[in-house]
Amino acid sequence: MLTVAEAVKILSKKNITHSEEMVRRWIRKGKIKDAVKFSNKEGWLIPEDSLEEVIAAKTYMNSGIKSTKEYRKGYQDALAYIKERDYELIKQSPPVYEKEFTIYRDDALGLAENMLPEEQLVNPFKKFVDDTLFKCSNAEPLSSIVVKVLNNWVLVEDTNDIYNIAKLPNLNVTFEDHLTRALLRDQFNTFKRTSLAI
């Protein structure tokens, strides 16, 4: 049998606790079994095998902290794998997707007009959007384009452009408007590089 002080020395070496009061609390809560108290002067006496059970339980719990780090790493690895897998699925032909929606030309051109601070760029940019997003290989611009979504990946079906929407800023607008704005921002960056460089 061990005194509380002797038990704390052993527990301290195992890096479990340095507190006699903690050991007494564990005894009162029944976490250390079969401890006896014959008098207040002697205090608690703890069977060695009961202390070993506590050490085993606490060591197992502390090892869970390491496995939690391993779990988080495994979780992050799984997310990266899913992201890569989803990218491959959405870019294949035909694409695998969860939902689809339509971006209407008039709505996109209206948003494009509101994006530009310089009025002289509005019409050239709208024509650029028509040519790159809505016209593609057609003689006349389409009235709408179809967008397919798989988790964080978005495929613009008519252009085969793929966007990662996890990287889009969080705006207080509908998903469709949010994505349309992102497409237009991307189109505007391309427009600036090509048209304004001339």
Residue 157's pLDDT is what?
82
Model confidence, pTM: 0.54
Report the DSSP beta bridge partners of residue 101.
147
Report the DSSP beta bridge partners of residue 99.
149
- Work out whether the CA dihedral 175, 181, 185, 187 comes out positive or negative: positive
Q: Tokens 């310089």 identify what position?
A: 118
* Phi, psi (deg, nearest 5) at residue 149: -125, 135
Residue 178's pLDDT is what?
77
* SS3 track for 23-49: HHHHHHCCCCCCCEECCCCCCEEECHH
Q: Which of 67-81, 140-154, 157-171 has the lowest mean pLDDT?
A: 157-171
The pLDDT of 168-182, averaged and rounded, is 71
Span 57-74, pLDDT tens digits: 887 666 555 567 788 888
- Answer for the pair 147, 103: CB distance below 8 angstroms, yes or no: yes
Question: Which position has the higher pLDDT, 85 or 179?
Answer: 85
- Answer for the pair 145, 156: CB distance below 8 angstroms, yes or no: yes
User: How far is residue 143's CA from residue 174's CA, in Å, rounded to a whole number?
Assistant: 20
Domain coordinates in residue numbering, the chain: 2-63, 91-195
The pLDDT of 7-22, averaged and rounded, is 89
User: How far is residue 147's CA from residue 160's CA, in Å, rounded to a whole number?
Assistant: 10
Structure tokens at 50: 């009961």
Structure tokens at 177: 């408007």
**Does residue 113 surpass a pLDDT of 70?**
yes
- Answer for the pair 111, 122: CB distance below 8 angstroms, yes or no: no
Q: How many CA atoms lie within 13 A of 13 on its CB side?
A: 6
- Answer for the pair 37, 47: CB distance below 8 angstroms, yes or no: no
Structure tokens at 166: 């996890």
Structure tokens at 158: 């008519």
Q: Which of 5-14, 46-55, 121-130, 187-196 has the lowest mean pLDDT?
A: 187-196
Helix (H, G, I), strand (E, B) or coil at 145: strand
Residue 197's pLDDT is what?
56
